[in-house]
């Protein structure tokens, strides 16, 4: 399924925050929204999620018009910087939660849920944490659980807003690789919001460089570095030519 973001604009009390933003995300693709603080990344992601609504423009998922659809109908998985896990539930129960909450016919059997949770915990390399509670986890482990939980519902798209920015460098690097591996294994498209140039260049198939509510350039890391479309892009990515790779570096 391909997500089409068409001419999305949004203002807060006459201050434009997004100005005719246009993006396409192909099946299985990993996209980064990269830009300085205040450039509109979170607002765009929240509009894609259905947590906020645009003033104008539309969102289509293949032939499905999602512009006015509520967040839960969209069936997207989400991970934020401080993603709240259910503190009173074990890791395994956190991951199973979305599946258990499914209605009637779409809810897998208890046995199937248990099997899927076991597989996911294994893929995310957190099987050994299955019976722990969130208070017994490190920050990096919590985000691993959050990510696994988001993937458990087999979302149509994975949305991530600065999911690693509260973690220290070493943990962050390990998680980037795990996220990329998991996303490839599951085979769904993902959009990562980040202000970290290295993170975007290392992880994403294509990067939308945002500035002041506009996308300055939407391209591969190599093209952004080799042929920056605007002075802003050139300046924002200055000194990062070692990330010139074919496709994602991870």
The residues that touch Mg ion, with contacts defined as CB under 5 A, are 42
Contact, 94 vs 145, CB < 8 A? yes
Closest residue to Mg ion in the complex (CB): 42
Q: What are phi and psi of 156, to 5 degrees?
A: -80, -20
17 touches ligand ADP (CB under 6 A): yes
Region of residue 242 (left: phi > 0; alpha: psi -120 to 50; beta: else): alpha
134 touches ligand ADP (CB under 6 A): no
194 touches ligand ADP (CB under 6 A): no
Q: How far is the CB of 236 from ligand ADP (least distance, A)?
A: 13
Binding part of the chain for ligand ADP, among 35-43, 67-75, 138-146, 201-209 by CB under 6 A, reads: 35-43
Contact, 149 vs 94, CB < 8 A? yes
Site residues for ligand ADP, 38-57, by CB under 6 A, read: 38-43
Contact, 209 vs 216, CB < 8 A? yes
Q: How far is the CB of 99 from Mg ion (least distance, A)?
A: 29
Binding partner at 57 among Mg ion, ligand ADP, none, C-beta below 5 to 8 Å by kind: none
12 touches ligand ADP (CB under 6 A): yes
Binding partner at 17 among ligand ADP, Mg ion, none, C-beta below 5 to 8 Å by kind: ligand ADP
Among residues 138, 220, 25, 55, the alpha carbon closest in space to that of 146 is found at 138
Question: Where would I find the H helices in the chain?
Answer: 41-49, 71-74, 91-100, 110-123, 139-152, 169-186, 197-203, 221-226, 231-236
Among residues 91, 76, 250, the alpha carbon closest in space to that of 172 is found at 250
Binding part of the chain for ligand ADP, among 31-39, 73-81, 117-125, 167-175 by CB under 6 A, reads: 31-39
Q: How far is the CB of 41 from Mg ion (least distance, A)?
A: 5
Q: Would you tell me which residues interact with ligand ADP (CB under 6 A)?
A: 12, 17, 35, 37-43
């Amino acid at each position: 399924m391909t997500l089409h973001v068409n001419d999305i604009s949004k203002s807060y009390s006459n201050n434009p925050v997004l100005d005719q933003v246009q993006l396409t995300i192909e099946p299985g693709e990993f996209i980064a929204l990269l830009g300085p603080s205040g450039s509109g990344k979170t607002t765009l992601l929240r509009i894609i999620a259905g947590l906020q609504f645009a003033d104008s423009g539309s969102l289509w998922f293949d032939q499905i018009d999602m512009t006015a659809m509520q967040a839960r109908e969209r069936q997207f998985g989400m991970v934020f910087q401080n993603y709240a896990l259910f503190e009173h539930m074990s890791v395994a129960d956190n991951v199973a939660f979305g599946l258990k909450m499914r209605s009637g016919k779409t809810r897998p059997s208890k046995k199937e849920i248990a099997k899927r949770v076991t597989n996911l915990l294994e893929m995310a390399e957190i099987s050994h944490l299955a019976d722990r509670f969130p208070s017994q986890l490190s920050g990096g482990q919590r985000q691993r659980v959050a990510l696994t939980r988001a993937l458990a519902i087999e979302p149509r798209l994975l949305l991530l807003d600065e999911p690693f920015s509260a973690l220290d460098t070493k943990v962050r690097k390990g998680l980037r690789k795990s996220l990329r591996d998991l996303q490839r294994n599951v085979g769904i498209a993902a959009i990562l919001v980040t202000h970290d140039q290295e993170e975007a260049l290392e992880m994403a198939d294509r990067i939308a460089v945002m500035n002041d509510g506009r996308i300055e350039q939407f391209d591969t890391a190599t093209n952004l570095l080799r042929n920056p479309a605007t002075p802003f892009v050139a300046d924002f990515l200055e000194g990062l030519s070692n990330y010139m790779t074919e496709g994602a570096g991870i």
